[in-house]
Amino acid sequence: MFNIILLLNFYREVPQELEDAAYMDGAGHLRTLWQIYVPMSLPAIATITLFCVVGHWNAWFDGMIYMKGNHYPLQTYLQSIVIKFDFNTMSMSEAQRLAKLNDRSVKAAQMIVAAIPILLVYPYLQKYFVAGIRLGSVKG
């Protein structure tokens, strides 16, 4: 719902004169959409894409509901390790190596590894993210 409101407010800010000029030049509805509205809405689309990617990346509950066995997605696996860490499911050599480490350091390392993909994507979308939020916000 938030994404729809963001795009709605963004498209309300697009001047009607651009669409009128495109129709005067002979552009149809599809050409106006692809050559005027889509290029102008790239910041808003990138912002919504970033929101959706981060939302799906952090959705651990979906994996817990839909998956069975030990083949969980990364976030669901991470959540299960942070909540209940069981040495019985590991081999003896893994358990001995992990026993030497602090429990909090293992959890912190797993969280860092899980955050790396989003940290790699965000700098490329940041310029669109800031512009998309600013342009799609409600003007007073």
Average pLDDT by consecutive 10-residue portion of the chain (140 residues)? 84 84 90 88 82 80 77 75 62 64 72 80 70 52
| For the chain, domain boundaries | 2-136
What's the Cα-to-Cα distance from 41 to each of 60, 65, 92, 117, 127, rounded to whole Å? 31, 35, 55, 25, 13
Taking the C-alpha atoms of residue 30 and residue 26, their distance in angstroms, rounded to an integer, is 12
Are 32 and 120 within 8 A, CB to CB? no
Residues in CB range of 74: below 8 A, 6 or more apart: 114
pLDDT at 98: 62
- 87: which DSSP letter? G
pLDDT at 132: 56
pTM for the whole thing? 0.59
pLDDT at 31: 92
pLDDT at 30: 93
| Tokens read off for 73 | 């997605």
pLDDT at 140: 45
